[in-house]
Amino acid sequence: MADGDAAAVVVVFDFDKTIIEWDSDDWVITKLGASDAFSRLRPTMRWNPLMDRMMAELHAQGRSADDIRECLNSAPLDAHVLSAIRTASALGCDLRVVSDANAFFIETVLEHHGVLGCFSEINTNPARVDGDGRLRISPFHDPDSSPHGCSLCPDNMCKGKIIERIQATANGKRHFIYIGDGRGDYCPSLKLGEGDYVMPKENYPLWNLISSNTQLLKAEVHPWNNGEELERTLLKLVNKLITPPAQASQFDYKCEMSNPVSTEVGHHQALRVPH
């Protein structure tokens, strides 16, 4: 990769407990009063259909999609993480989200904090508001009609297959930095090669899985603990891969003016974020 070829750096973010410090499903269920229903149904349902059912419970309680949006917007987001996203985008990196949350939650939070436009693509479970005003959540991979066949991942999403698709469009000319925390982030980490980096959140499932056998990963591992460390570590790695512009004041913070993305998206589709 030639010096200054920032577009050849792909930064992939998980969402829950990575971009945000909290779990978006848990935040909405707890704050909007559906914890009892969640506890009752959790032993009987897989996570993705359970979240769709929880949205039905909230709708039955008179909670609107706008109520869910306001709930998400009330949650804190670390300023260091926002800064990291804006700076990496301004340096020309290609930022993506790969998350087992859902499109409505992710877009709501990123748009509220002014960084939705920093991301070229959001890969997550599709979500839409139906004709009755109820939020519907669908699986990214439909386990019934198109099972992904990966034993490491939940049946509704294999993040490794998403990474492989992004890699296929790169023709081996792009460096990847993958940032995540959960068990579902392990499969995509195994897909990374030499010259790539994985940033696991320390003492979370991804970190524990990597630590159990570090020889399985080809990518270089750089752990982090909090938003400040995420920002410092990410920008250190980006700066290793590119030659930054001479004057930071010339950065075009295009992500501060972001546009909402349609939450109507079919299975296996990523959400394209217009700039």
Annotated active-site positions, please?
14, 16
Question: In 3-state terms, the chain is what percent helix, strand and coil (to 5)?
Answer: 45, 15, 40
Q: What is the number of other CB atoms lying within 10 angstroms of the CB of residue 135?
A: 25
By the 10 Å C-beta count (0-12 exposed, 13-18 middle, 19+ buried), 199 is classed as buried
Residue 25 labelled as part of a binding site? yes
Residue 185 labelled as part of a binding site? no
Residue 196 labelled as part of a binding site? no
CA distance 224 to 233: 7
Q: Computed over its alpha carbons, how large is the radius of gyration of the chain? A: 18
The SS3 call for residue 107 is helix
Residue 26 labelled as part of a binding site? no
Residue 144 labelled as part of a binding site? no
Per-residue CA distances from 114 to 43, 122, 256 (Å) = 37, 15, 5
Q: Which residues are annotated as a binding site for Mg(2+)?
A: 14, 16, 181
Q: Which residues sit in the known binding site?
A: 14, 16, 25, 100, 181
Annotation: binding site for substrate: 25, 100
